[in-house]
Amino acid sequence: MTQLTNQAIIEGLYEAVNQRNFDYLAALGAPESEWFDVPYNFTDTGESAIVRPWKGWFDIFPDSISEVRSIVSLGDHVVAQGITRATQRGVFPSPAGDLLPNGGRMEVYFCDVYRLANGKIIRADSYFDFYGILKQLAPEKA
């Protein structure tokens, strides 16, 4: 894979996220894939590791839209930074306990680091400001 191809794959990931194209996301998984949500210290593994976290996110935030503000390709690694905006409609299991749906709007900055091989995501480390989400959706717990 060339740098441009890896970057195009990740650009396509965010387009698929915003269009709810789970087939595209599922196609990025491999048996050895890992998705690591840094704020939760939780790793999902296997062929569904790329699609499962997004499906769970959309259960909580069905109108979620992610805007990539910068993306850089470094060989087999791609780093994407941006902001996600959404309305909470589902129960949000979080390190601060379950946040019940309240229709609150939130914006969260993210930085996702991907390692790809042969067109598949082998590792994704997803960094986002959980405390910022908590302050917006449940300020009494922040």
Q: Model-level pTM?
A: 0.92
SS3 state of residue 94: coil
Average pLDDT, the chain: 95
**How many domains does one find in the chain?**
1
Q: Mean per-residue pLDDT for 46-67?
A: 97
Instruction: Dump pLDDT digits (tens) for 61-88.
Output: 999 999 999 999 999 999 999 999 999 9
Tokens encoding 32: 């050895």
Give the range of the structural domain holding residue 60, as residue numbers without chain letter: 3-141
Beta strands in the chain (DSSP E): 34-37, 42-45, 65-74, 77-87, 105-117, 120-128
Q: 1 or 10, which is more confident?
A: 10
Q: Give the percent of the chain with pLDDT over 90.
A: 92
| Whether the Cβ atoms of residue 140 and residue 133 lie closer than 8 Å to each other | no
CATH number, domain with residue 68 = 3.10.450.50
